[in-house]
Each structure stands twice: as structure tokens, then as C-alpha cells.
Amino acid sequence: MTKEYVVAKTSDIAPGTAKQVEVDGEPIAIFNVNGEFFAISDTCSHAQASLSEGAVEDFVVTCPWHGARFDIKTGKNLCMPAVTPVQKFDLKIEGDAITIVM
């Protein structure tokens, strides 16, 4: 059974930035890439930095600690030192509400 969590408003997250939200104590990073929204785990798979604090370029976020890059759409790790992906979450937009679907 899926659960839905309204976590933010679209106006909370400017294009090219991210926001950390929490669902059941789990930090999730919501990214706005040119008006499209994506959600991945906010915990880097290398050493647990917050990916929502990383630099965003197109659909790639660079971890602020050691420079691993992740695909914002899928959570896939793109370079060292990360060797595993981060979890991707489904979301939906209704009006200005961003909802995580788990």
C-alpha cells in the first residue's frame, strides 16, 4: 500500500536549488530543475553528506563534501568516490503542493 506525504510547496524551491524534507525521519532532497521536480535520498552514499547542499547543474548534483556526482532523476552515482546510487522517490505535484509517494 502506498503512502503519500505532502512535503513542500513548489514556491519553496527555486529553479536550480534543492530543499531537504523529512519523511518518517528520513531526509529526502527535493530538486527543482527548470521547473521540474525530483526527489532522491538526501544522504550521500559515500559518507552521508547532505546532497541538498550540493551544487546543481542540469540534472546532476555534486556532493558538497568529496565531489561525487549523482543523477537527480534516478539517484544513479556518476563518479567516484560514490560507488552506489542513492534512492529515488516518486513525487507528484498538485497545485503548488509537492507530494512524495512511497
Q: Which residues make up the interface to ligand FES (CB under 6 A)?
A: 44, 46-47, 49, 63, 65-68, 81-82
| 28: three-class secondary structure by DSSP | strand
Q: Report the first-to-last Cα separation within the chain, whole angstroms.
A: 9
Q: Which is nearer to ligand FES, 49 or 60 (CB)?
A: 49
| β 60-62/36-41 pair status | unpaired
Measured between alpha carbons, how far is residue 101 from residues 15, 52, 58, 89 in Å?
22, 19, 24, 7
**Min dist. Cβ of residue 87 to ligand FES (A):** 15
**Min dist. Cβ of residue 80 to ligand FES (A):** 8
Q: Which is nearer to ligand FES, 62 or 99 (CB)?
A: 62
Q: Which is nearer to ligand FES, 6 or 48 (CB)?
A: 48
Q: Which is nearer to ligand FES, 43 or 98 (CB)?
A: 43
How far apart (Å, rounded) are the C-alpha atoms in residues 17 and 14? 6
**Min dist. Cβ of residue 68 to ligand FES (A):** 4
